[in-house]
Amino acid sequence: MKIVLQLVLWVVIAFLGYLVFNSINGPVKFNQVKKVRYAKAIENLKDIRKAELAYKTVTGKFEKDPAKLIAFIDTAKFTLTQRRDSSFIRFNKILKIDEPRDTVVIDTLGYASVKDSLFKNDNYKNMFKVPVEGKDANFELNSGFIEKNDLKIAVFEAKVAKDILLHDQDSDLLAQEKEVRSVDGVNGTHLSVGSMTEVNTSGNWPKSYGSNDQ
């Protein structure tokens, strides 16, 4: 009986030791996985933002269809211009004299491929795929206009839920991560860039992941 009690005691001690170890190691491992996955997702969000800003430069608005945005990168060109000051003479009919006038002349120098200007390879073709093994998901993309001071201003937002990025992690730790409100963390339930409610093309990640603006 004594031996049985000792064995039971050792089992209980081992189990309690496992619980203590897991309570310490669990959050550490969670944070390690989180940082790696967030970093990969942020690189995709930066590429999406780069593509959207190029699209707006050419068209004056943002694009909400991922396929159309990728097709734009494949085919579109930037117009290369040069801005220079100039002047001309205009006859003043009232004073009956010639008057010098200043102006600005914009010359078109040529065109440059958007793809070659912004991307070094074809990885942008997969920028909407969430880079998490075992999870087949895409970044959400939206665009439109908001009114500011009686002006319609183009906006866009790309995002992915933390539920997707950390789908295979501890549910309690994931719930805590979704409630984060800190300058050192990713606030809210999503990792995102841009906004559909304000004029903003920055990402919501902290500087520890690199610059969050363009």
Domain ranges of the chain: 37-214
Average confidence (pLDDT) per 10 residues, the chain, 214 residues: 59 51 72 95 96 93 96 80 68 76 65 84 94 94 94 96 96 94 92 96 91 75
Q: What angle do CA 198, 203, 207 make, to 5 degrees?
A: 135
What is the reported pTM? 0.77
Burial of 63 from C-beta contacts in 10 A (0-12 / 13-18 / 19+): buried
Query: How high is the pLDDT of residue 102?
Result: 73
β-partners of residue 49 are none
